[in-house]
Amino acid sequence: MGATIDQKEIEHFSKDSAKWWDENGPFKPLHRLNPVRMSYIKDQICLHYDREDDDLRPLKDLKILDIGCGGGLVCEPLSRMGANVTGIDADANAIHAAKDHAATCDLDINYICGDAQGLDKKYDVICALEVIEHVSDVSAFIKICTDKLKPEGILILSTLNRTPKSYALGIVAAEYLLNWVPKGTHDWKKFLKPSEVSAHARHHGLSPKNIKGLIFNPLKNDFQLSETDLDVNYLMCLSR
């Protein structure tokens, strides 16, 4: 078992892994989040690598690693945008679901069940979305990500801030009132402030180049990016 993998976290998610692609199932919030997350990821990659973001395949030939890929919700759109995608997850059931779904969509994605520490390749982009709050050692996890990045590469993270607001919305509302995610999905004490992620990243040679909040707009009943509200969810792009 890898140095950063928390086996209890894997077991928690594994019981629902067969339902990764059920848009009304236990991963419904991720399906709803995905268009906004993908917009951010695409914009940051295109900006960093000077790609035309209105191109049909703007990520052509870029090597992208998605750590904690789950059932492939991020890997598939990255692949459709032309990237050479590897998805890795410690949950064998999630990887099985990801492989099956990619096959039905005729997508060539390299899925691996295991720990990113064991990979021997380096990548232009590494994504770790809703992962860092579940690992056992944050600093060690960021070091693994840094080690797998090419010198000019970027790391894109998303996670939850540790604030009273995130406890109210991310735990109480999402898990107990709205039933958006299964109870026990998150441990508020493991949420990370942007300053904490930045400090760990700088220790391993990375610096934040962009950060945006991810908020739920009840009027539109949808998620959107925010320049100022980082109180609950946020995305961060880092480079050397």
Query: pLDDT tens across 187-200, in order?
Result: 888 999 999 999 99
Query: For position 114, what pLDDT does the model report?
Result: 95
Residue-wise burial string across 91-115, b where 16 or more C-beta atoms lie within 10 A, e elsewhere: bebbbbbbbbbbeeeebebebbbeb
CATH homologous superfamily for the domain 7-239: Vaccinia Virus protein VP39 (3.40.50.150)
Q: What percent of the chain has pLDDT over 90?
A: 72
Distance in angstroms (rounded) separating the CA atoms of residues 75 and 107: 10
Nearest to 33 by CA among 233, 238, 204, 173: 233
- For 131, phi then psi, to 5°, come to -120, -45
Query: For position 9, what pLDDT does the model report?
Result: 58
Count CB-CB contacts under 10 A for residue 133.
21
Distance in angstroms (rounded) separating the CA atoms of residues 198 and 166: 19
Q: Where are the domains of the chain?
A: 7-239
- pLDDT of 174 > 90? The answer is no
3-class state of residue 128 by DSSP: strand
Banded model confidence at residue 11, pLDDT cuts 50, 70, 90 = low
User: In 120-194, at which residue ranges do the beta strands (DSSP E only) sit?
Assistant: 123-129, 149-160
Q: For residues 91 and 13, is the Cβ–Cβ distance under 8 A?
A: yes
Query: For position 67, what pLDDT does the model report?
Result: 98
User: Which are the contacts of 82, defined by CB distance < 8 A and separation ≥ 6?
Assistant: 57, 58, 59, 60, 61, 62
- pLDDT of 176 > 60? The answer is no
pTM (2 decimals)?
Answer: 0.90
Per the listing, tokens 């399906």 go with: 31
Q: Which residue has the higher pLDDT, 83 or 9?
A: 83
Query: pLDDT tens across 142-173, in order?
Result: 999 999 999 999 999 999 999 998 888 777 66
Least confident of 7-21, 171-185, 193-207, 226-240: 171-185
Q: Tokens representing 99?
A: 């492989």
Q: Tokens representing 104?
A: 């039905």
Q: Tokens representing 46?
A: 């295109």
Query: pLDDT tens across 38-79, in order?
Result: 999 999 999 999 998 778 899 999 999 999 999 999 999 999
Query: For position 156, what pLDDT does the model report?
Result: 98
Query: For position 1, what pLDDT does the model report?
Result: 39
